[in-house]
Amino acid sequence: MIKAILKYLGAGLVVLIIIGILAYLYIDESVPDGTQGQEAESLAGEMLTALNKSGYDTLSMIRFTYPGGHNYEWDRENNKVRVRWDNKDVHLDLNQSPDDFNVTEYQAYEYFLNDSFWLVAPFKVRDEGVMRSTVKVDDGRGLLVTYTTGGVTPGDSYLWIIGEDGFPKAWKLWTSNVPIGGLKIGWGGWVEKEGVWFSTFHPSAVIDLEVTDLEVGY
């Protein structure tokens, strides 16, 4: 019932409600200690191979809709993105410094960074400034990644729980915009687009996030 109710609420209110409820449902966890080295690199490589990172790197266009009515047309070849929500229609040149964006452009930029991450995060585990380490978990293999630079919230950590097939099953979050450490959210609804695998469904104890209208192209 609560998921049905939350489905019709505004995105900002949904986030506040989720945080409030989770504060009572979960005990805050600290970021676990991990072990850097070859095992972590091998596990990261296995996940990237399973999802076809090399194919992802050749995609020139990705379109999708994120919950809350955020629509994206991402021109990866030219590093530009069109962001639409409510009555806003913003064309961003991601080659520009975010410091040069006006208020609406920066809001679109923040939306894009957050929303696209829920679609392409597995492909970013070897980005510049990312630390990788292995962590023991009960229901798979754990790959802890910490983003020391980039985005709007550097320092965030994510513990990927990876199945034997190399596909992520879930992750646990330690981020600056969620005050509950270790929140676990699923990675499911896998779909293949042009040989590349994307997760479009993220279930949690309170609400399910679903990416829709996914299209890719070369």
Cβ proximity of 142 and 182 under 8 Å: no
Write down the pTM of the prediction. Answer: 0.85
pLDDT of residue 164: 95
What burial letters (b/e) apply to 61-85, b meaning 16+ CB within 10 Å? ebebbbbbebbbebbbeeeebbbbb
Structural domain of 18: 2-217
pLDDT digits (tens, 9 = 90+) for 101-140: 999 999 999 999 999 999 999 999 999 999 999 999 988 9
> What is the total count of domains within the chain?
1
Q: How confident is the model at residue 6 (pLDDT cuts 50, 70, 90)?
A: very low
Q: For residue 98, give the nearest of 90, 85, 109 by alpha carbon.
A: 109
pLDDT digits (tens, 9 = 90+) for 132-191: 999 999 889 999 999 987 655 578 999 999 999 999 999 999 998 777 889 899 999 999
